[in-house]
Chains A and B, each alone.
Chain A
Amino acid sequence: MVDHAQKLADRVWQRHSRKQRLARYGVFFVTLLVVVWAVRDIDIFWPWVWDAPTQIANLGGRMWPPSAAGLGAIINALIETVHIATLATFLTIFIALPVAYIAAQNTTPNRACLWLGRFILVSSRSVNTIIWALLFVAIFGPGVLAGILAIAFRSIGFIGKLMGEAIEEIDRRPVEAMQATGASKAKVIAYAIVPQVMPAFFAIVILRWDINIRESTVLGLVGAGGIGVILQSAIDTFAWPTVATILLAIIVLVLIGEAITSLLRRRVM
């Protein structure tokens, strides 16, 4: 009988071992604690929260139906947005490639260049587009130049980092073969490195262009050109139906951008 009970006790099934259970409870408890702290401490006026769905529905109601009044201006602003994204992507290429070159471990001339390159990439990536825009608007005044520079400065980190990784992943053997022919460093790059990173380059630039179109839509909110400028002014004048039209236009733009991107990507690959 005792024997039997022992056997049964052995056969009790549990999903997790004791240690696993403790770890799970630990993670769960810490998460709970953090959430409770965040909810209790955050500076929110709670009645507003319960009121929020009504307010949002209310705003949605005021937006409907979208007004076609300023459609011409909206389309012009959309084209300007695309221009900003494209010119910024184009500009970025010229800056990002040399940075990628010095930030890749196998092509960097020396350690100082390596760290300089990495520093440029990290600082470019850590500052958001809109913060870059804020800075450039303060410097060059409101307008498209600030927008182009903001998008470009943010893209340098993105394209530079991915290109640097592509350079680091190349096949070393053709490089060795080119060195064996007595080619200089520039020729080795042109023959053994450039062809290998070409597909990655196109893919990365196309991807970034797509992202840049989305980012360009918000530049105007801090005065740096594009569709955001008229969005901001429509919101400031409570012209909600126009706001709705602009939002729809942005969705269309983003979808078109995505379609072009996937078409190009299939072409290049």
Chain B
Amino acid sequence: MLEITHLTKRYGRNEAVLQGLDLHVEGNSVVAIVGASGAGKSTLLRCINRLVEPSSGSIKLNGHELVKLKGGDLRRARRKIGMVFQGFNLLDRLTVMENVLAGRLGYLSLYQAVMRRYPQADIERAFTLMERVGIAQYANKRADELSGGERQRVGVVRALMQEPDVLLADEPTASLDPRTSEQIMVLLQSLASELSLPVLINIHNVTQAKAYTERIVGLRHGKMIFDGVPDDFNQDALDAIYGGIESPDDSSSDDEAEQGASP
């Protein structure tokens, strides 16, 4: 259960990227967040695991407040939040297995992490999940030898290795070809129900959003202007989200979201 109330984020003195956003996600629902570039989608996800610091507001995961956490508490909270990235963000020069087990870094001791002495249970879980998404045969390959779709599967498995309470996916299909991106969407959808996990997906592609999710949230200029089931997401809603003149600082805010991501 994820509760976001009055979430506001502004970079410097610019207009706020998120303007008092409220969002509740329950159970194992798959939520698509749609909006033009710069609408604040990426910032919203990054506020949840605090890769971006929210300016004000509250984010609660299963009743625990995330916004004020620091240091070790923040790291313990983050390991319950899995994240899948647009650019996969894999450790290119390490093996697929190390990439997958990197999802356990929040749980391992430094010695275990550096010497690669992973607990047997973690290795078993890694193999099970990798078999589930069909990449087990690549365990000893280097991550940069895989194709785009396979790389994103590694990214998904890495996030699931964290045994997360919620999964965030930031444009998980934007770097993939149409066929592979549909496979990834199917995968995210079925994993959500198998593991009974709420999933938040930022997505550009409205058709995919309607096909693979059960709830769509539309953002524009940092405000929520649509929240409902895919069947209600009609042409009017689409025009409201993407239509009209883009706000002048739209193009810049996405870059800032990425810069702000490094604490």
Contacts and interface: CB of A to CB of B under 8 A. Distances in A.
Q: Do A and B bind each other?
A: yes
B262 A182 contact: no
B93 to A, nearest CB: 4
Given A174-B89, A181-B158, A191 B102 contact: yes
B59 to A, nearest CB: 15
B114 A190 contact: yes
Interface stretch (B19-27, B70-78, B220-228, B243-251): B70-78
B91 A183 contact: no
Q: Is the interface of A mostly helix, strand, loop or mixed?
A: helix
Interface in A185-207: 186-187, 190-192, 195-196, 198
B93 A178 contact: no
Contacts, number: 86
Contacts of A183: 75, 102, 105-106, 113
Interface size bracket, B side: 35 or more
A17 interface: no
B77 A181 contact: no
A195 B116 CA distance: 14
Given A176-B85, A190-B114, A191-B113, A182 B93 contact: no
Interface in A146-201: 171-184, 186-187, 190-192, 195-196, 198
A182 B106 contact: yes
Contact of B93 (A179, A180, A195): A195
B261 A195 contact: no
Contact of B94 (A106, A176, A181, A191): A191
Interface residues of A, number: 23
A186 B93 CA distance: 18
B100 to A, nearest CB: 11
Given A176-B51, A190-B114, A191-B105, A182 B89 contact: no
Interface in B67-109: 74-81, 83, 85, 87, 89-94, 98, 102-106, 108
A79 to B, nearest CB: 36
B162 interface: yes
B83 A177 contact: yes
Contacts of A173: 85, 87, 89
Interface of A: 106, 171-184, 186-187, 190-192, 195-196, 198
Considering the complex of A and B, which 6 residue pairs feature the smallest CB-CB distances, nearest first? A182-B106, A182-B79, A183-B105, A182-B78, A177-B89, A173-B89
